[in-house]
Amino acid sequence: MRHVAFVAVAVLVGVLAPAPAFAAPGVNCAEPGENEIVASWARSALRATTIGTVADGTGARVAILSTGVDAGQPQLRQRVFNGVDTVDGGLANQDCTGTGTQVAGVVAGRAGGGAADHSGADNSGADGGGAAGNSGAGNSGAGGGGVSDGGGDSGAGGLAPNSRILPIRVQLDDPAGSEPDPDAIAVGLNQAVSNGADVAVVVSPVYEDDPDLEAAVAAAIDQGVVVVAAVGDLGGADEGNPTPYPAAYRDVIGVGAIDQNGRIWPDSQRGDFVDLVAPGVAVPVLQTGRGFVEVSGTGVAAGFVGAAAALLHDRKPDLSARAVGRLLAGTAAPAPSGPAFGAGVVDPYAAITGQLAPAKDRALPAVEPAPLPDTTAEKQRRTYALVGALFAGILAVAVAVAAAAMRRSRRQQWRPAMASPPPARDEPLEPGPPVMLLDERIQPAEAGRR
């Protein structure tokens, strides 16, 4: 890929050495934001205050693949590494456009202005003076000096304020607008892995399926990096809703945007590449340089999900990247079904306090088979019922036949009665003279012989 060569040269000439703690935006960059934002509906919806009592992202390193991150933003100071510029070479701890800084703010921004950590700790760790070299990023750790809140909640603090940001520039830092290309994102993911990132947030998608990008995604996930990607802002009726990458790749957490009422942002893209949704409309965020602005887009929504993954790394560092994705999806708050919402609204508090069920099947506990019931009485009842039904049927047939006969007899005017007695004959009081039957028969014969 065309970006690999310059990255190697950059390491050789030492451009990845630690940079100053304050890296102000250049000329013609985005204007500073407002001095105050009263409240953030997104923080309220995600229960940011409650989350802070359980986890704060300590120990998590989040790579932001975008336009760079302003290391001098007061609420990010001491929490941004030097990073890597995969577009022009060099570092990525400046952000003229502001996009990367805004997303980094919802991850690690300090509420109340962010007091600097003067512990002097260098958080390069095993990375030496490379891309993760300290750009003023102290490591509060479990026993370090820490970074305390400098005041009340500004309304634009991050969900994981003790996490650390690894900026990786994958698109031109141009306020007029720019888009990344697949090669730059692929190199950026490789750099995230080599510099110890635990989470990688791809703020802007590409719309070209690229085998090198897919391979870089798979390698990052295999190395335990949770890859979170915005699904893109081309979901409007006239924008075609093209397939976004890397959100469409396997095991990447694709994130869409919702508004204050839980409705999908009209420009948030829709499809089976959406795994979760998060606040992404009129969200107060940190602006490059200083101050606060309100932004809308799936990129800032992806930042909230990246922050949730950082919180999980704080609480459950042994979870694999795929397990983190399953846990975030399984604990998501219910949302309307459909291709725009995925599994629902990310719920960081439910994720860090929940438990992931084992992926493998568990054998059911042994149980004794229930004894067969005694059906003797039931059989007797059935027999009696059958005999009774048969008898009733025969009786009904007999009654029907008799009724038919009666109807027929009435038609023929027949009535039942006793038979009449035989006629009586007069008998003589005395018997008559005997009749000589034999003599009468013989006399004719004798007369003939004579």
Q: How confident is the model at residue 146 (pLDDT cuts 50, 70, 90)?
A: very low
Residue 114 has pLDDT above 90, yes or no: no
Q: 61 with 318: CB under 8 angstroms?
A: no
**pLDDT value of position 140:** 39
Phi, psi of 122 (to 5 degrees): -95, 125
Rounded distance between C-alpha atoms, residue 53 and residue 260, angstroms: 24
| 116 C-beta neighbours (distance < 10 Å), count | 16
Rounded distance between C-alpha atoms, residue 243 and residue 248, angstroms: 7
Residue 265 or 409, more confident: 265
Q: 314 with 57: CB under 8 angstroms?
A: yes
Span 38-56, average pLDDT: 93
Residue 125 has pLDDT above 60, yes or no: no
**pLDDT value of position 111:** 79
User: What type of residue is 361?
Assistant: D
Residue 178 or 282, more confident: 282
Residue 155 or 1, more confident: 155
Name the nearest CA neighbour of 59 among 320, 305, 313.
313
Give bridge partners of residue 34 from the DSSP assignment: 292
Residue 358 has pLDDT above 90, yes or no: no
**pLDDT value of position 19:** 40
Name the nearest CA neighbour of 288 among 435, 74, 6.
74
Q: How confident is the model at residue 119 (pLDDT cuts 50, 70, 90)?
A: very low
Q: 190 with 219: CB under 8 angstroms?
A: yes
Q: 123 with 139: CB under 8 angstroms?
A: yes
Mean pLDDT of the chain: 82
Percent of the chain with pLDDT over 70: 73
Per-residue pLDDT of 338-355, as tens digits, reads 899 999 999 999 999 987
Span 78-102, average pLDDT: 95
**pLDDT value of position 417:** 62
Phi, psi of 201 (to 5 degrees): -110, 115
Percent of the chain with pLDDT over 90: 56
**pLDDT value of position 117:** 39
Rounded distance between C-alpha atoms, residue 289 and residue 167, angstroms: 16
Span 20-36, average pLDDT: 65
Rounded distance between C-alpha atoms, residue 48 and residue 153, angstroms: 10
Task: Please state the pTM of the whole predicted model.
Answer: 0.71
Q: 317 with 59: CB under 8 angstroms?
A: yes
Per-residue pLDDT of 215-274, as tens digits, reads 999 999 999 999 999 999 999 999 999 999 999 999 999 999 999 999 999 999 999 999
Rounded distance between C-alpha atoms, residue 1 and residue 191, angstroms: 14
Least confident of 116-120, 313-317, 395-399: 116-120
Q: 344 with 253: CB under 8 angstroms?
A: no
**pLDDT value of position 262:** 95
According to DSSP, the β-strands at 84-85 and 226-230 are unpaired
165 Cβ contact partners less than 8 Å away, ≥ 6 residues apart: 62, 63, 64, 69, 76, 79, 80, 81, 104, 107, 108, 137
According to DSSP, the β-strands at 84-85 and 164-169 are parallel
